[in-house]
Amino acid sequence: MELSTVWFVLIALLWFGYLFLEGFDFGVGMLLGVLGRTETERRVMVNTIGPVWDGNEVWMIVAVGATFAAFPSWYASLLSGAFLPILVILLALIGRGVAFEYRGKVDSARWRRNWDRVIFFGSWLPPLGWGLVLTATVVGLPINARGDLVGGPIALLRWETLLGALAVAGFSLVHGAVFTALKTEGAIRARARRLALGIGPIALLPLVGLLGFSVLGGAVVLVLAGLALWRLWLEREGQAFLLLGALAAAAVATLFGSLYPDVLPSTLDTAFSLTVANASASPYTLTVMTWVAAFGTPAVLAYQAWTYWVFRQRIGTRHIPAVHAP
């Protein structure tokens, strides 16, 4: 297998890792004000992702960085064409990160409510934006022979890309509810389970619809979604969480598998499409990247796995010190 194909597969794996890991902490942020009915409960929810949310973002950084190094033409055409949604994503991520750090700095209910709103919007906008951008990558964009987007940012708005935005956001919402049920105890856990079971069939529907072009891919995702909700109903939150991970893997494999050997199809003329062959970096660059990844990736995976193991226990309101404001 050529190194350009290897790196195409690796980039798909990186996006899977990002959607699986960052997806649940986006979901926790989306549901912060829904499942957390008191300040103590909201602190419990923030603490479920506190040790891992910043590490989860590394997957996105590496995915974009690998695209830049391995497929510079793909990176240039996609990120320049989608600069507006990506700018919104970055601003939302910055605000979200600041909110996690600052919401507890002042003992004021109003102060915390304002930062909770930042977390809410900062958790909804990125999955919507990445769903839009990644779906546009798969279905194609109107790029010309120079790789420039024709029509400006509005060209990204098609029914398929809007469905992709809803698909990623809906998955994150359910994933976050299941993760909250997995990591908490008592009333928050019960609330999260009920919510995931109630909204799951609706929230995951856009993802099934997005994969409608592939009978096999859509069927696999549909079965995995049903199994995840069934195991959740039986209070097997860990199994439900892993099944949602398998669902994300199936979705990414279906989308990127349908894309190959293109990396960014042109809807103007197939001759303008960027492919694994014509968009890749030099063989020397890919070789160096492969050696660096071979040594660096195991260390990063080991560290992140250790972090999840250390913070594997459930937490509840009894673990949170008393606060002055409800």
Q: What is the pLDDT of residues 254-297, one digit of tens each?
A: 999 999 999 999 999 889 999 999 999 999 999 999 999 998 88
Q: For residue 140, is it left (φ>0), alpha (ψ between -120 and 50) or beta?
A: left
Count how many residues are written for the chain.
326
| Exposure string for 133-147, b = 16+ CB within 10 A, e = fewer | bbbbbbbbbbbeeeb
Distance CA 317, CA 188 (A): 9
Residue 217 to residues 1, 53, 207, Cα–Cα distance (Å): 24, 29, 10
Q: Tokens 């696999």: give the residue.
A: 220
Predicted local confidence at residue 148, as pLDDT: 86
CB atoms within 10 A of CB 109: 13
Predicted local confidence at residue 146, as pLDDT: 87
Residue 108 in contact with residue 149, Cβ under 8 Å? no
Q: What is the pLDDT of residues 294-325, one digit of tens each?
A: 988 898 899 899 999 998 899 998 878 765 54
Predicted local confidence at residue 80, as pLDDT: 87
Residue 130 structure tokens: 């990445």
Predicted local confidence at residue 326, as pLDDT: 44
Provide the 3-class DSSP secondary structure of residue 184. strand
Query: Which ranges of the chain have pLDDT less than 70?
Result: 322-326
Predicted local confidence at residue 325, as pLDDT: 45
pTM beyond 0.85: the answer is yes
Residue 35 in contact with residue 184, Cβ under 8 Å? no
Phi, psi (deg, nearest 5) at residue 71? -135, 70
65 CB-near residues (< 8 Å, 6+ apart): none
Predicted local confidence at residue 323, as pLDDT: 57
